[in-house]
Amino acid sequence: MVHQNENSSTGAAKATVTSDKVWFITGSSRGFGRVWAEAALKRGDKVAATARKLESIADLNEKYGANVLTLELDVTNPDQVKSAVEQAHAHFGRLDIVLNNAGYSLVGTIEESSADDVRAMYETNVFGPLAVIQAALPILRKQGYGHILGTSSNLGHVVLPVIGYYCSSKWAFEAIHESLALEVKSFGIKVTIIEPGAYATEFGSPESLKFAAGLDIYQDFKEEFFGGLRGMKRGDPNATPEAIFKIVDAENPPLRINLGSNNLPWVRTAYAERLASWEEWDAVSAAAQGTSK
């Protein structure tokens, strides 16, 4: 891997070659964050692994020694985010990959969920990643390279009932990262949005779900919805690291990448339906343009 480092005496960029990568990963205690952190370490990369509770990732120190730096991090605390990113950079000397993975889902219909519940989820799912990005960008710009990865979901393009606010956080997440990719390309910084489908991770655990206060009127609807989810085929999270490595090792990585075999058919159908509806109503839409003055 070629890195552009600034020559301190001339200010000119010079290339140095390194075979390993340095990762900064949020949400490393479980789920994809844990799987990808360990996979990166096993292949010889270095990882700054972060989690809200340091004890949840302490075993990584015993397993991987100097190749891992474990940091306590609540992504909803911008000062702690900035400190963690700076610590990781100071410890390893560079940051190649910044992976925003921390997040959780709010379970509740649009009517049931309180504004406070929605704000709290957005603090983690949207503003947390934003804090990480803003803390890392000055470092990546100075390096002249870097790759920002964001764990989104296939629900960044389609929606389900009962977790509509979670879906909305991923739609926001997608828009932020797509705009970011256009803004930082000239600095040598790459951006990729990772869009997993349903996987057998701990995402369904109490630590990854928060439930809104329920209304009886939706009880039957939610029971039917959860029954359908229980029958959904889930992928193996341990099958995903190779896909992630292909992305971070690619000279020209994609802006978006699906994980799993079920995403594309679902998204393709959803967009086909949207296009058909827009085209059906296009005459009404065009008439609303009015006449230019």
Active site residues: 152, 166, 170
CB atoms within 10 A of CB 202: 16
User: Distance of CA 217 to CAs 111, 149, 228, 241, Å?
Assistant: 11, 40, 19, 42
Q: What does the radius of gyration of the chain's CA atoms come to, in whole angstroms?
A: 21
Residue 216, judged by CB atoms within 10 A of its CB (0-12, 13-18, 19+), counts as exposed
Judge contact between 30 and 202, C-beta under 8 A.
yes
At which residue do the structure tokens 């990732």 appear? 57
Q: Would you tell me how many other CB atoms lie within 10 Å of the CB of residue 239?
A: 12
Among candidates 92, 65, 200, which has minimal Cα distance to 146?
Answer: 92
Distances (CA, A) of 226 to 31, 152, 163, 229, 234: 21, 21, 11, 5, 14
CA–CA dist 138, 252 (Å, integer)? 22
> CA-CA distance, 250 to 252, in Å (whole number)?
5
